[in-house]
Structure 1
Amino acid sequence: MLWRALILVMVAVVVSVCSMPQDGVESRFISIRRIIDTIISAGFPVEVHDVTTEDGYVLAMHRIPYGRSGPTAERRPVVFLMHGVMSASSHFVSLGADHSIAFNLADAGYDVWMGNARGNAYSRSHVSLNPDDSSEKMDFFDFSWEEIALIDLPAMIDFALAHTGQQKLHYIGHSQGGTVFLVLNSMKTEYNEKIASAHLLAGVGYMANFPNAPLRTIAAMTTPIYALLLSMGLVEISLDALPILLPNDGQKASDYCFGDIKYQAFCDMIGIDIILEDSIIFALEMGGSSIKQIAHYGQNIKDQAFRRWDHGIIRNRIIYGSITPPSYDISKITIDVTMHYSLGDILLDERDVLAMAAVMPNTVPRQISRASFLHVDYIASSDVKELVTDYIIEKLDAAEGR
């Protein structure tokens, strides 16, 4: 009976999250405008660029070309920021002018570009598919983070380089932003020549020691859960529905993390510290993803592996030539990479970070000095500047000969 209970728990979470309010389009529009207003009100310039992928997704990129001191004649190296799962570019500016990594980089003399993966609120568009149509949404959201890595990232990286006339950029990826970096540069190795250096902030790859026991339990049933959700027509996780997930009944948001198990699982996934501060609605309003992205992580957690999407034995044989999906060969990544990690992270284990760093020839692991630093703290904690960002800027300056 346990497997049935787990399915019901996962369905309850996803149904709650996927229930789109009637004014969902309007709320997304307001939120999209909010990041622009946030950047401008902080004293920074902002540009919005739309990039259309080879398979028709329209991705929004946000650019902060210079800092509060104004433009200069000197060349400003490009830094590309990529968000995590159910996240967006807005999270790189959510801590304000003095603590947000995007603002800090711009003030330090860098040309900052922030990407948005297909399916999140900024990139929820396609040249022919309507994500709100009951039929077309099945095709629109039929993607995992491998498509983001192999199609979205190259499109955005190439656009930023072409627009600025530069040959290389520096890459910073949080969580899934690290995952897609690993996938891209192990499968399309030519991008090793386009990225000067990389900083992965809790970049998720190897999962032999995934530390979160409740999510490990749910991940064991990934295949039947995902199949059930598809049969119900559920393909998207949208954080526009958070007010539905956490009802306005007089309780604080943190109360839900210690009650019903479906809320506990959601809180674990998002990050308990944000919820404890009751800032979850503001901090995460601009996220969203396909359920298949989560399912791909679930497959890897279950199999204690870092490998491609598992289609099942028969289709794996047809697509991959083997009954199991091939693993990503990250030893092919030759970029200078720093893998930032913390002991308090419930979604990434130190042993997996060290194992990845040992395989990648020019990679070093770096432990955050605060042991209680959480997976979400890279975008949610005000001390991220002193613990992470200042170090990154120092390394970027050294790489640029400043």
Structure 2
Amino acid sequence: MLQDALTWLSNSPDESLGFILADNGFDVWLANVRGTNYSSGHTSLSPNDPEYWDWSWDELVEYDLPAFVQYVNGQTGQKLHYVGHSLGTLMAFGAFSREEVLNMVRSAALLSPIAYMGQMPSPLARAAADIFTAEALILHEFFKLKSCSPTTYGHKEHDPSSPEQGTIAMYDYGSDDDNNKHYGQTTPPDYNMTSIPNDLPLFLGYGGEDLLSDVKDVQTLIDALSDHDPDKLVLQYIQDYAHLDFVYAVNAKQVVYDPLVAFFRLN
């Protein structure tokens, strides 16, 4: 969030996952979600137009990630190993429940996975010191804890909800009638985090100091994946890692990326 694919190239070449994967013989495709610096084009709208921002994370799940996967598969004729961090994991949990996407994916590495957020500290100012002030502030606007329904970047009003299970739900249109029109029910449906096939190889990396992807929330995710083939699920817990360490820590190559590369080679 608030970043683009340069995240994976920001450290030195021997510390950045994009370069490390390339050096290990992988073709590396970097994806930018809509509205970021390298993905700001539109057939008719400018980023200065409010309508340009009239979308939520639902569109990233429904359209953007499937388009990324379909494009790379079409160019290479190969299934993909997917790497996502934070927002990239939330997109994956939604999109990987769809057969047409899964048919093009070999495995997925999900770092600081966002699937449940019941344990995230309520005043996000606590997170700002350890994470990234702007990211924490914008996250407060995206997450309204009940179902943590994502709101749009733009002008839509979001109906705040009370904290409950901390699951992730689709966009809340703010009224029973509008939700009924879009979903056939008065509340936005939750994303089904357990709909990922049990035999899809998964690498989950999470940290003990992560205030966004809290350890207890990740454990809720792990519990939800209890039926997953144990031979297809790799869990990596790093006690002293915070949210952004998975992409910016200078020792991430040894701690995270080398095991991740080994995981890809096995799958």
Shared fold (TM-score greater than 0.5)? yes
TM-score by length of structure 2 reads 0.83
**Displacement, 1:174?**
0.4
Q: Give the structure with higher Rg (CA).
A: 1
Task: Indicate yes or no: 2:168 matched with 1:306.
Answer: yes
- Aligned counterparts, 1:357-368, within 5 A: 357-360=222-225, 361-362=228-229, 364=233, 366-368=235-237
Equivalent residue number for residue 253 of structure 2: 385
Q: SS at 2:83's partner residue?
A: strand
Q: Could you tell me whether the CA contact under 8 Å between 2:127 and 2:211 is conserved in 1?
A: no
Equivalent residue number for residue 316 of structure 1: 179
Q: Measure the CA separation in 2 of the matches of 1:353 and 1:124.
A: 32
Equivalent residue number for residue 198 of structure 1: 108
Q: Could you tell me whether the CA contact under 8 Å between 2:170 and 2:191 is conserved in 1?
A: yes
Task: Indicate yes or no: 2:32 matched with 1:116.
Answer: yes
Q: Could you tell me whether the CA contact under 8 Å between 2:205 and 2:237 is conserved in 1?
A: yes
- Aligned counterparts, 1:234-249, within 5 A: none
Equivalent residue number for residue 209 of structure 1: 119
Q: Measure the CA separation in 2 of the matches of 1:266 and 1:126.
A: 34
Task: Provide, for residues 173-220 of structure 1, a one-character-per-residue CA deviation record: whole Å limited to 9, x for no partner.
Answer: 00000000001122x23212211100100021111222x2312xxxxx
TM-score by length of structure 1 reads 0.56
Task: Provide, for residues 305-332 of structure 1, a one-character-per-residue CA deviation record: whole Å limited to 9, x for no partner.
Answer: 2111111222112211222111111222
- Aligned counterparts, 1:323-402, within 5 A: 323-334=186-197, 335-360=200-225, 361-362=228-229, 364=233, 366-369=235-238, 371-399=239-267
**Displacement, 1:101?**
0.5
Which range moved further: 120-129 or 173-182? 120-129
Number of matched residues?
A: 242
The two structures, once aligned, show a CA RMSD in angstroms of 2.3
The residue type paired with residue 178 of structure 1 is T
Cα distance, 1:269–1:311 mapped onto 2, change above 3 Å: farther
Q: SS at 1:353's partner residue?
A: helix
- Aligned counterparts, 1:1-400, within 5 A: 85-132=1-48, 137-166=49-78, 168-186=79-97, 188-210=98-120, 212-215=121-124, 264=125, 267-268=128-129, 270-271=131-132, 295-299=141-145, 300-301=147-148, 302-303=163-164, 304-312=166-174, 313-334=176-197, 335-360=200-225, 361-362=228-229, 364=233, 366-369=235-238, 371-399=239-267
Answer 1 or 2: which has greater helix percent: 1
The residue type paired with residue 336 of structure 1 is P
**Identity in percent:** 30
Q: Measure the CA separation in 1 of the matches of 2:47 and 2:104.
A: 32
Q: Measure the CA separation in 2 of the matches of 1:199 and 1:271.
A: 23
Q: Measure the CA separation in 1 of the matches of 2:51 and 2:93.
A: 25
Structure 2: runs of 5 or more not aligned: 149-162
Structure 1: runs of 5 or more not aligned: 1-84, 216-263, 273-283
Task: Provide, for residues 341-362 of structure 1, a one-character-per-residue CA deviation record: whole Å limited to 9, x for no partner.
Answer: 0110011122221222232324
